A = this chain, B = another copy of it.
Amino acid sequence: MCELLGMSANVPTDIRFSFSGLAVRGGQSGPHRDGFGVVFYRGKGIQEFRDDAASCQSPVADLVQALPIRSTAVIAHVRQANAGAVNLENTHPFHREFMGRHFTFAHNGQLPGVKKLRLGRFRPIGTTDSEHAFCYLMAELERFDRLPTVAQVKAAFGRAAKVLSGYGVCNLLLSDGRALYCWRTSKLVSITRRAPFGAARLEDADMTVDFAQVTTPKDVVTVVATAPLTDNECWTELPLKRACVLRAGEWH
């Protein structure tokens, strides 16, 4: 299994605190030592960092934890390989351009038999079930001949996720930079931080941040993860098998 991390915020926000909590699970406090990846949206562009080494040992992951990248939408993933060899092309997140937008995707779970699903023009580069599932999801979007609205993406995402969930454990994060689309069949929790901000302490590392020191009263930031990343805050499970959408840190 793997672990997911997503973020949506109404102002460009530094995700390093949460990423640090995830990264130590990549081979240190957790067994997810088969690579990691993170995609930051900045405007319509993305910055991505990935490695097929364990995130707790990768110099690329060290860099991400040292870089003050501020973003309004982030998807990250640490991998424990099940289907597909340990290599770069099998690391999440996957992304594709559609109608002039980067669509980015990460999956937690296993989907045996999912490769029977027919694809459109988007094809997997690696050999994971997850990337096949992503290409299947993208085929749902291919029906549009212009950039679909967030509501249209949500509906297509929900349709595809429902089919995919018939194959196994299917916790999904998708982003097009405008929104973060989430789907849970087993494990996916979230927390929304807003004023008055408090301090948060990582569960897996000796790190605390006082968000009151690094935010303004108007900031709203929601973090989604496979399991709670902090041990002094209350994380909420996402609804089961329902497409949920975050925009600017708020659920819609």
| Residues of A in contact with B (beta carbons under 8 Å apart) | 42-52, 59-60, 63, 66-67, 87-91, 96-102, 121-126
Contact = CB atoms under 8 A, between A and B. Distances in A.
Given A63-B59, A63-B60, A124 B96 contact: no
B50 A50 contact: no
Contacts of A124: 100
Residue from A42, A59, A123, A125 having most chain B Cβ neighbours under 10 A: A125
Contacts of A67: 59-60
Contact of A44 (B50, B99, B125): B125
12 contacts: A43-B88, A44-B89, A44-B126, A45-B52, A45-B90, A45-B126, A47-B60, A59-B66, A60-B67, A96-B97, A98-B123, A100-B125
A99 B126 contact: no
Nearest to A142: B121
Contacts of A98: 123
A98 B120 CA distance: 11
A51 to B, nearest CB: 7
Given A45-B90, A59-B67, 20 more contacts: A42-B88, A43-B87, A43-B88, A43-B89, A44-B88, A44-B125, A45-B125, A45-B126, A47-B50, A47-B60, A48-B48, A49-B49, A59-B66, A60-B67, A63-B63, A98-B123, A100-B125, A101-B125, A102-B125, A121-B121
